[in-house]
Amino acid sequence: MRILFTCVSGQSHFYNTVPLAFAARALGHDVAYSSALELAPIVEAAGLPLLPAGPGRLRLRAAMTRSAGIVGELDLEDWSRGAALFGCVGPALRWRALSEVAQRYRPHAIVSEPLELAGPLVALRLGISHFTLSIGPYYADTMSQLWAQAAPLYREHAGADITRGQALGCYIDVVPPELQTREGLRLADRIPAGCRLYHGEAGQAPGEEPERGPRPLALMTFGTVSNKALSGLWESAARLSRRGMDVLMTTGPNGWFDFSAVRGAESAAGDGAIRVVDYTPLDRELPRSAVVIHHGGSNTMRAAIGAEVPSLVIPQEAEQHRNARWAAEHGLGLLLRPEAAEPSAVEGAVARLLADPAFAERLGAARAAFSAMPSAEAAVEEMARRCETAPHQKRI
């Protein structure tokens, strides 16, 4: 079976979806990715081919500026700009190029992440089986906003009676039932998939156990898009250092802002050491961390659960505030809104996460729930079965 995976052009989006691609490849299926050309180094480093289609981030942002009509700062929970970008602007610029890729590659299935909506449109037009690969909990309001933006494009090019359910296709669910949202559990067509997380080719080797240092480690990481938030957290890091903690701050691949002032103060703040690095794989640092302070990205959130490390989530954009609320509701961490993340508040939240045994208890239960999920390989086998029995659809 040939499977074409599609994702938004972003390192974290690829990391969230590639574990299922690895499982498919391990079972002998042909696997390829399609995204913007700028993602090629990340995809090829994972040993997979990239079939480029569509614009990169800079062109998308320029198109968004021209077309969205949204000005000024939005509230953290106002996702109208993201819905317009991923639901309308991105698919409109991408679907024709992706159609050409699909016609050349001739996949039996297209697998798309929830924010990549050109893939489902191409699948519907060409009569290809389609699956939506989740990257975290199912948020009905997010999906409703995306569909409201995408529906006109779909109805113009795939039929006036196309529904949101048809665009979603079969939902591959990476979240166990115990932690899934009520709306997610109500989805009629779901395949569970326990996917081992991927953090880059430089990640920890299977079976390798990182050593813990003599002092508790606070890991501060804000992903590859939201990491400018770190520039305002130096005093928080200094306070944690004075409490006797080591602190590791990651600025993102290649650094996304000038951190020279912080670098000059490394290891000088208190009893604990403060280190600043461009990038370090989560699976290398989380097992030796006592707490992780992050933005609420899906991959980081799931990785923290896998390592049973409590989270202090300071959401910045996109689905992050929803992930932060989800984590707090399930006792997996605490939420601080950005405007409330003063150094004293961060220090106090970290102290609570370290002192309250309930967080460790709930993280252990959550990790067990994830571990009990059917394997990614079982999900791929179910996908293959469905593709074999799917009725032939007329290609447009």
Q: What residue ranges do the domains of the chain occupy?
A: 2-194+373-389, 217-371
Q: How far apart are CA 190 and CA 193, in angstroms?
A: 10
- What angle separates helix 234-242 from helix 343-355, to the nearest 10 degrees? 50
- Do 2-194+373-389 and 217-371 have matching folds? yes
Residue position matching structure tokens 């290398």: 284
pLDDT of residue 9: 92
- Reduce the DSSP state of residue 235 to 3 states and report it: helix
pLDDT of residue 222: 84
pLDDT of residue 209: 59
Report whether 197 contacts 264 (CB < 8 A). no
pTM for the full predicted model: 0.90
pLDDT of residue 233: 87
Could you state, in chain order, the average pLDDT of each consecutive group of 10 residues for the chain (396 residues)? 95 94 98 97 96 90 71 67 91 97 97 97 97 96 95 96 95 97 95 92 55 85 68 87 93 53 48 82 92 94 96 88 95 94 96 97 98 98 93 52
pLDDT of residue 164: 93
Q: How far apart are CA 92 and CA 99, in angstroms?
A: 12
Q: How far apart are CA 326 and CA 239, in angstroms?
A: 27
pLDDT of residue 264: 44
pLDDT of residue 395: 46
Q: Given this structure, which CATH class describes domain 217-371? A: alpha beta
Report whether 58 contacts 85 (CB < 8 A). no
Q: What is the CATH number of domain 2-194+373-389?
A: 3.40.50.2000
Residue ranges of E strands in the chain? 2-6, 30-34, 109-112, 129-133, 170-173, 190-192, 217-221, 246-250, 274-277, 291-294, 311-313, 333-335
Phi and psi angles of residue 11, each rounded to the nearest 5 degrees, phi first: -60, -45
